[in-house]
């Protein structure tokens, strides 16, 4: 199999993506980030084939997911994208077709999110395809996990649980494992919608300015709403109550939940939402909602911050749900 050298590979596939002056056409060992207003926010998420995405996933979607999970972190901190570096560990069987699709997808998202590539590193990986993205953002005011205050309302963007349900749908698409009964009964459109949400997160970049301006605390939901919100509350030294009925669900998730009410636990504790959970002081809620609406991002009040500690997710009768450990553990 004839494949390009490292230099040729960079020149052919990556240099066209790195158009900022500070990237110097990827002809250097380092890049210069342009100066700009706001705090410089940095984040890094690694993705490994077989762990964070499936080996059968399309290369362009894998590239987009690797960038988007980082942009989701930035948005939750109130930061707009400023650029990224890509570390790429290529397994022995990589092909040019893979790289062509991968970089095409990456280029599409560079344009979509106005997030230029500044450089990176490509290495041989005697193991699974591995992506390590470091993303940079700028925030007028960086929002932390630790600023929630009793009385603040808790809001969530978009819809919750689609990623976790979508993993089941995606595994079924690939013919892996045994599909649960609810999935087999779900309409094809709903199944496809859920699988798509698992494959391709929608980082809430357009919500970043409103988060920066109004949130007392925020984080992106990557490891499940219940667990991630519990972390935020713990960092804030506060407690919280969420009404399970108030948690925003997609039509597909609503249909799945109707088929199998126990899925509420998967929805509330599953991973891969990439929505934002934020706490907003009551006096700022109206402005936050108006700015979110203007940005085209749905936001829903799901609960409130309380004194004390711990998160209670209450059912329609006001009884706390038992959610088990409440978060996805990476180890």
Residues lying near a second copy in the complex (CB under 8 A) are found at 3-6, 9, 24, 27-33, 35, 39-48, 50-52, 73-74, 76-77, 79, 85-90, 118-128, 130, 132, 134, 136-137, 142, 144-146, 219-220, 222, 235, 329-331
Q: In the complex with a second copy, which residue's Cβ is closer, 118 or 182?
A: 118
**C-alpha span between 157 and 295 (Å, rounded):** 12
**At closest approach, how far in Å is the CB of 27 from a second copy?**
5
Please classify residue 271 by burial: count the beta carbons closer than 10 Å to its beta carbon, then call 0-12 exposed, 13-18 middle and 19+ buried: buried
**At closest approach, how far in Å is the CB of 187 from a second copy?**
34
Cα separation values, 285 from 174, 210, 311, 323, Å: 43, 10, 21, 28
Q: In the complex with a second copy, which residue's Cβ is closer, 36 or 251?
A: 36
**At closest approach, how far in Å is the CB of 19 from a second copy?**
16
Per DSSP bridges, beta strands 80-90 and 130-139 are antiparallel
**At closest approach, how far in Å is the CB of 138 from a second copy?**
10
Q: In the complex with a second copy, which residue's Cβ is closer, 94 or 182?
A: 94
Q: In the complex with a second copy, which residue's Cβ is closer, 124 or 287?
A: 124
**At closest approach, how far in Å is the CB of 314 from a second copy?**
25
Cα separation values, 48 from 8, 63, 66, 127, 132, Å: 25, 12, 10, 10, 9
* Residue 150, Ramachandran bin (φ over 0: left; ψ between -120 and 50: alpha; else beta): beta
Give the position of tokens 């990456």.
106
Q: In the complex with a second copy, which residue's Cβ is closer, 3 or 282?
A: 3
């Amino acid at each position: 199999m004839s494949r390009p050298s490292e230099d040729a590979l960079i020149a052919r596939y990556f240099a066209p993506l790195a158009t900022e002056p500070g990237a110097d056409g990827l002809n250097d060992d380092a890049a210069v980030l342009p100066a700009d207003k706001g705090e410089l926010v940095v984040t890094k998420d690694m993705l490994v084939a077989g762990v964070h995405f499936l080996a059968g996933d399309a290369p362009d979607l894998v590239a987009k997911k690797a960038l988007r999970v980082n942009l989701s972190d930035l948005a939750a901190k109130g930061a707009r994208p400023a650029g990224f570096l890509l570390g790429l560990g290529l397994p022995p069987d990589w092909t040019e077709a893979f790289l062509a699709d991968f970089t095409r997808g990456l280029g599409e998202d560079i344009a979509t999110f106005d997030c230029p590539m500044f450089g990176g590193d490509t290495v041989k990986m005697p193991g699974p395809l591995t992506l390590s993205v470091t993303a940079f953002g700028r925030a007028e005011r960086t929002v932390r996990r630790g600023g929630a205050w009793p009385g603040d309302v808790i809001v969530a963007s978009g819809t919750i649980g689609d990623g976790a349900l979508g993993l089941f749908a995606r595994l079924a698409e690939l013919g892996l494992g045994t599909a649960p009964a609810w999935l087999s009964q779900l309409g094809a459109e709903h199944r496809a919608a859920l699988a798509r949400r698992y494959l391709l997160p929608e980082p809430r970049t357009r919500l970043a300015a409103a988060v920066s301006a109004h949130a007392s605390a925020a984080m992106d939901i990557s490891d499940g709403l219940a667990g991630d919100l519990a972390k935020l509350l713990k960092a804030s030294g506060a407690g919280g109550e969420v009404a399970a009925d108030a948690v925003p669900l997609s039509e597909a998730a609503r249909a799945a939940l109707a088929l199998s009410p126990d899925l509420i636990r998967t929805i509330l504790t599953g991973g891969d939402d990439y929505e934002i959970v934020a706490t907003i002081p009551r006096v700022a809620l109206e402005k936050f909602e108006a700015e979110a609406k203007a940005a085209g991002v749905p936001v829903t009040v799901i609960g409130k911050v309380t004194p004390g500690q711990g998160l209670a997710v209450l059912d329609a009768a006001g009884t706390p749900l038992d959610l088990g450990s409440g978060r996805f553990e990476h180890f």
